[in-house]
Amino acid sequence: MPAERTAGHVLEIRRTYNVPRERVFAAWTKPQELQRWSAPGDMTVPSAEVDLRVGGRYRIVMQSPNGATHTAVGVYRVVDPPSRLVYTWVWEERAAMADTLVTLEFHQKGAGTELVLRHEELADEADRANHEKGWIGCLAKLPTAL
C-alpha cells in the first residue's frame, strides 16, 4: 500500500523566461521539445510520448550516462493552452507508489513568461526534496530549448 500523504509534502518552483507563454507551453507539451530538456543534469530523454488531451497519457524516458532509465508517466487532467497544464506523475518503475499531481501555470509577464510549477501529494519530505532537485535540474536546461 502506498505511503500516506500529507498536505505538507508540496514543492513550488517559479522561473521566468524571456519568451511568450505559448513557446514555454509548447516546450512542455511536444515530444520533440521534451526530449531536448526534460531530464536533469547529464541525463538525456531518448523517448517522449504525449497525448495532449484531458484523459490522455504521457511517458518520458530519462536515461543516465550509465544506461539506467527512469520513466515518468501520467494522465493529463487539465489542458488549457497556453495558460495551464495539470497532470498526474508517477515513476513507471515504482508502480506501487501513488500518483502525485503536477500543476503548471504560464503567466504572461510583458514579453516574457513566469512559470509556476507545483508538485503535490509527494510521499514524504525526502520524496519532496528529491523531486525538487530533479525539477531544478530540468528547469536549468529548459532555456536551451526555448
Domain range spanning residue 99?
A: 11-145
Note the pLDDT tens digit of each residue in 11-33: 999 999 999 999 999 999 999 99
For residue 2, being part of any structural domain is answered with no
For residue 5, being part of any structural domain is answered with no
CATH number for the domain harbouring residue 32: 3.30.530.20
Note the pLDDT tens digit of each residue in 33-87: 999 999 999 999 999 999 999 999 999 999 999 999 999 999 999 999 999 999 9
pTM of the model: 0.91
Distance CA(101)–CA(29), nearest Å, equals 16
For residue 98, being part of any structural domain is answered with yes
For residue 140, being part of any structural domain is answered with yes
For residue 80, being part of any structural domain is answered with yes
Q: How many Cβ atoms from other residues are within 10 Å of residue 47's Cβ? A: 15
Domain count along the chain: 1
For residue 47, being part of any structural domain is answered with yes
Note the pLDDT tens digit of each residue in 116-135: 999 999 999 999 999 999 99
Distance CA(125)–CA(53), nearest Å, equals 31
Q: How sure is the predictor about 4, in pLDDT bands with cuts at 50, 70 and 90?
A: very low
